[in-house]
């Protein structure tokens, strides 16, 4: 019996990552985070592409070494086709294509947002089909109805900013370095979430909006700082707790609605913002209240990583779903 070894590569944003999966089990997962962007208050696409170019070879080598797999034992190469920054995606895609060509093995293209959802199939417990997944990242906010490993449908999404973007942009207004989401999370732990109430957006159906909350937060801050220039320093924990509370409230209200409308009580979260401790706690509490089975990924599989690309590739390999050398990455990509 020959085991199936797949190398997976992720390069859609500011993490260069490679992982090896054997018969559905993750053998290694190496992530190189680009720290250069902290100085700029956001990811600078050109710098991201260059950093991917520098990191990709050592990251892939380490993933193979950690897994104790030789290149000649690989059966396929998977890569993130999109969505993401085009220049960043081109580095991973070109690398994967060259390696597959050299080794004469098949290529597997992966949708990054589908991979976030499928991260739930790396470890136990795994959700049962059908389940709902709230995918929350720096670029996306989606409620996905998942009926099979490769069958999923977006039933609600943001009409403007992503929730991760709302975290990062409010953090920027507070002079916190990029990415601000984890820092808001950290300061919020010591604050009062009811200190400053913010209005919730009115959005029909299962869609989201986060641009209004960002603006009302800006006006709130300008007004407070006019009255007290030290407002932010003196109240940082309460400010972070209040903004985090509001963002979580928006997310969970829609998730509740989605569960009610679909009758599905298998509920998962995924994506970078699912690392947020307030969201994890609130979802666990809400789930207990409503009789949901709640699935929260391990921290390492919340933010961008190649292990999730690898598990998605495992399902595509089993389905015989390969692509050819003419494939090109896509900045915007549907399911
Ligand atoms: O999935 P991800 O790593 O990259 C994208 O595909 O966008 O998500 C990154 C986003 C950033 O906006 C970051 O601030 C946010 O996830 N994030 C958090 C936390 N950890 C990461 N937001 C709130 N609380 C956290 N603990
Ligand atoms: Zn992501």
The answer on 158 and 274 residing in a single domain is: yes
The answer on 212 and 137 residing in a single domain is: yes
| Length in residues, the chain | 335
Instruction: Please give the model's pTM, rounded to 2 decimal places.
Output: 0.96
Does 118 contact ligand 1 (Cβ within 6 A)? no
330, part of any domain: no
The answer on 234 and 220 residing in a single domain is: yes
Backbone angles phi, psi at 131, to 5 degrees: -135, 165
Distance from residue 298's CA to the centre of ligand 1 (Å): 14
Does 278 contact ligand 1 (Cβ within 6 A)? no
CATH number of the CATH domain containing 228: 3.30.420.40
Distance from residue 179's CA to the centre of ligand 1 (Å): 7
Question: How many domains does the chain fold into?
Answer: 2
Distance from residue 305's CA to the centre of ligand 2 (Å): 8
Does 182 contact ligand 1 (Cβ within 6 A)? yes
Range(s) of the domain holding residue 132: 125-297
Q: How far apart are CA 81 and CA 110, in angstroms?
A: 6
Token representation of residue 90: 């081109």
Per-residue pLDDT of the chain (335 residues; tens, 9 = 90+): 679 999 999 999 999 999 999 999 999 999 999 988 988 888 999 999 999 999 999 999 999 999 999 999 999 999 999 999 999 999 999 999 999 999 999 999 999 999 999 999 999 999 999 999 999 999 999 999 999 999 999 999 999 999 999 999 999 999 999 999 999 999 999 999 999 999 999 899 999 999 999 999 999 999 999 999 999 999 999 999 999 999 999 999 999 999 999 999 999 999 999 999 999 999 999 999 999 999 999 999 999 999 999 999 999 999 999 999 999 999 999 98
The answer on 271 and 145 residing in a single domain is: yes
Mutation test of ligand 1: which of 43, 181, 299, 305 has the most ligand atoms closer than 8 Å to its C-beta? 181
* Most distant pair of Cα atoms in the chain: their distance: 73
| Nearest atom of ligand 1 to the alpha carbon of 278 | 24
Does 87 contact ligand 1 (Cβ within 6 A)? no
Q: What ligand is nearest to the CA atom of residue 43?
A: 1
DSSP labels, 286-321: HHHHHT-EEE---GGGTSS-SHHHHHHHHHHHHTT-
Q: Is ipTM strictly over 0.95?
A: yes
The answer to whether 255 touches 143, Cβ cutoff 8 Å, is yes
The answer on 285 and 245 residing in a single domain is: yes
């Amino acid at each position: 019996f020959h085991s199936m070894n797949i190398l997976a590569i992720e390069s859609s944003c500011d993490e260069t990552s490679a992982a090896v999966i054997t018969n559905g089990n993750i053998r290694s997962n190496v992530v190189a985070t680009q720290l250069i962007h902290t100085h700029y208050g956001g990811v600078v696409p050109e710098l991201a592409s260059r950093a991917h170019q520098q990191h990709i070879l050592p990251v892939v080598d380490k993933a193979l070494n950690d897994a104790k797999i030789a290149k000649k034992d690989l059966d396929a190469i998977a890569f993130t086709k999109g969505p993401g920054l085009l220049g960043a995606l081109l580095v991973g895609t070109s690398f994967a294509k060259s390696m597959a060509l050299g080794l004469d093995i098949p290529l597997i293209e992966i949708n990054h947002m589908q991979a976030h959802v499928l991260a739930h199939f790396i470890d136990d417990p795994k959700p049962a089909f059908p389940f709902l997944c709230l995918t929350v990242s720096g670029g996306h906010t989606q409620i996905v109805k998942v009926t099979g490993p490769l069958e999923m449908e977006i039933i609600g999404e943001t009409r403007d900013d992503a929730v991760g973007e709302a975290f990062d942009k409010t953090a920027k207004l507070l002079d916190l370095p990029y990415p601000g989401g984890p820092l808001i999370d950290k300061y919020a732990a010591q604050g009062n979430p009811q200190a400053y109430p913010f209005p919730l957006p009115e959005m029909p159906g299962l869609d989201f909006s986060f641009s209004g909350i960002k603006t009302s937060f800006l006006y709130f801050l300008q007004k407070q700082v006019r009255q007290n220039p030290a407002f932010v320093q003196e109240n940082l924990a309460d400010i972070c707790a209040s903004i985090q509370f509001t963002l979580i409230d928006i997310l969970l209200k829609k998730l509740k609605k989605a569960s009610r409308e679909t009758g599905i009580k298998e509920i998962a979260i995924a994506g970078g913002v699912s690392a947020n401790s307030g969201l994890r706690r609130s979802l666990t509490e809400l789930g207990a209240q409503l009789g949901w089975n709640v699935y929260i990924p391990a921290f390492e599989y919340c933010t961008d990583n190649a292990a999730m690309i690898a598990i998605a590739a495992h399902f595509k390999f089993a389905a015989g779903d390969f692509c050819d050398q003419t494939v090109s990455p896509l900045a915007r990509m549907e399911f």
